Structure 1
Amino acid sequence: MPVNKRNPMPRARLSILCSIALACALAGCGKTPDSPSESNEATLSGPDAKPGMAASDGKLILPIIAGRPGAVYFTVRNDGAEPVTLAGVHVSGVGRAEMHQTNGGSMAKVDSLPIDPGASMVFAPGGLHVMAFDVSPDLKPGGAAELTLTFSDGDKLSMPLHVEKMGGEDAGQGMDHDNMPGMHH
């Protein structure tokens, strides 16, 4: 369920609702959808969401080796009439999260991301993604975390992330962090 700074929901209630929504979504199908759908978006858009914005298909891929970064994948869509700019990301249970773009075998940090009306941005292996640094050992496969997107106007949109181990379907594909400039944090 989305949360924004104008109408915050107590974290305990949000955590319970996110866990229930994630469990329901996972029970409904064995595969993460390739694009946003009514079934996986229903818990992510509502009166508390940034107007016109929807997010779906969130997952956090844990690193194979403790101390290495994990990755976060999701889709964010602007159904509003105005362009927006995604200015930051936060992941619960992670020390630091940064947007990155893989292009031609190299990776670079992305400080902000404009999203035009009607456009979707897909964060997926081998392209846009979120690097998750200092991942808590408390995050385990099958668990849940929360992703909060912050826009340039200060509005926020939160969504649940399903926690998965690396090596699952499409996990980390095309991402050799050790051989990419700027990835030795």
Structure 2
Amino acid sequence: MTRTFAIAASIAIAAAGLSACGDNAAEAPAEEQALAFTVDNARLVLPAVEGNPAAVYFDLTLGGEKNYTIRRADVEGAERAEVHEFSEWDGEMVMGESAPMNMTPGETVNFEPGARHVMAFNLSPELQAGGTTEVTITVLGGDKFSFPAQIQAAGEDR
């Protein structure tokens, strides 16, 4: 009987201790700071030739007070995506994958034809002109920012 009482008392004390811990756990955690990017004019332009990659163009502005380094881009409905830019190589302008890109607050980077852009490879047949897809930018450290992009046919005004 004494042993049963001791076990019951131990359980009651443990429950009281856990409920006290529960009060602290009930406090709302600090909100994670959302990435302060805004996007305008986002569009994915389908390739003129099936099987070729699509291009994604947009204007990306960083607000807030913190610098971020863009590490990669992903496009929903594409097997893979790469941030590309033009640079000079051996006296010629060539397109290739971009190095990570630092942005400072207040800066706007234009992803546009003939300059920096996102290439989307091996597209799903579900990506059709007139629809939308989601583009995700990943910054150094792994935080992500996603936004919708209108899907345009190859011949539409960019």
Corresponding residue for residue 44 of structure 2: 60
Name the CA shift for 1:48/1:131 in 2 (closer, same or farther; >3 Å): farther
Q: Deviation at 1:48?
A: 8.5
Name the CA shift for 1:54/1:137 in 2 (closer, same or farther; >3 Å): same
Counterpart mapping for 1:20-31 below 5 A: none
C-alpha separation in 2, matches of 1:49 and 1:132: 29
Corresponding residue for residue 133 of structure 2: 145
C-alpha separation in 2, matches of 1:52 and 1:145: 21
The answer to whether the 8 A contact 2:111-2:117 is kept is yes
1:3-28 C-alpha deviation (Å, 9 max, x unpaired)? xxxxxxxxxxxxxxxxxxxxxxxxxx
**Of 113, 121, 129, which aligns to 2:101?**
113
TM-score with structure 2 setting the length: 0.73
Name the CA shift for 1:117/1:63 in 2 (closer, same or farther; >3 Å): same
C-alpha separation in 1, matches of 2:32 and 2:77: 23
C-alpha separation in 2, matches of 1:65 and 1:81: 43
The answer to whether the 8 A contact 1:103-1:127 is kept is no
Q: Deviation at 1:49?
A: 7.8
Counterpart mapping for 1:44-55 below 5 A: 50-55=34-39
**Of 60, 63, 73, which aligns to 1:76?**
60
RMSD: 1.8
1:117-160 C-alpha deviation (Å, 9 max, x unpaired)? 21011100011000111011111100111001111121111100
**Of 84, 89, 95, which aligns to 2:79?**
95
C-alpha separation in 2, matches of 1:52 and 1:63: 31
The answer to whether the 8 A contact 2:35-2:145 is kept is no
Supply the AA of the counterpart residue of 1:61: V
* Count of residue pairs the alignment pairs up: 124
1:154-183 C-alpha deviation (Å, 9 max, x unpaired)? 11111001000112113xxxxxxxxxxxxx
**Of 67, 70, 76, which aligns to 1:86?**
70
Superposition misfits of 4+ residues, deviation over 2 angstroms: 47-52, 102-105
The answer to whether the 8 A contact 2:67-2:102 is kept is yes
Structure 2 regions of 5+ residues with no counterpart? 1-30
Name the CA shift for 1:49/1:125 in 2 (closer, same or farther; >3 Å): farther
Give percent identity, aligned residues only.
Answer: 34
Supply the AA of the counterpart residue of 1:113: M
